[in-house]
Amino acid sequence: MKLTAEISMYPLKDNYLDPIKWFIGRVDSYANIERKTNAMATQVCGEYADVMAMLATEMEAAHEQWGKAVFVVKFISGELNLSHSE
């Protein structure tokens, strides 16, 4: 089953862009997960288990690397067209 998720990361530090760019770079290392980022959030799409495993791994790594950060994630089952715009 496919899963699409929208992720927003809010590092609790003054220099918040470095952790966000670091996180997005790590997400890009997953060849089986499609990623699209805009000014507000990052959307990912892939097999349900792959997306959930990536999120668990990378959110833990982000907390270990950068300390406290808030992650807000929305999930919808299925594969959405991440390039869609109106």
- What pLDDT does residue 45 have? 97
Residue 83 has pLDDT above 80, yes or no: no
Could you tell me if 9 and 71 are in contact, meaning their C-beta atoms sit under 8 angstroms apart? yes
* Residue 19 to residue 1: CA distance in whole angstroms: 30
Residue 86 has pLDDT above 80, yes or no: no
What digits encode the pLDDT tens for the residues 43-72?
999 999 999 999 999 999 999 999 999 999
Predicted TM-score of the model (pTM):
0.89
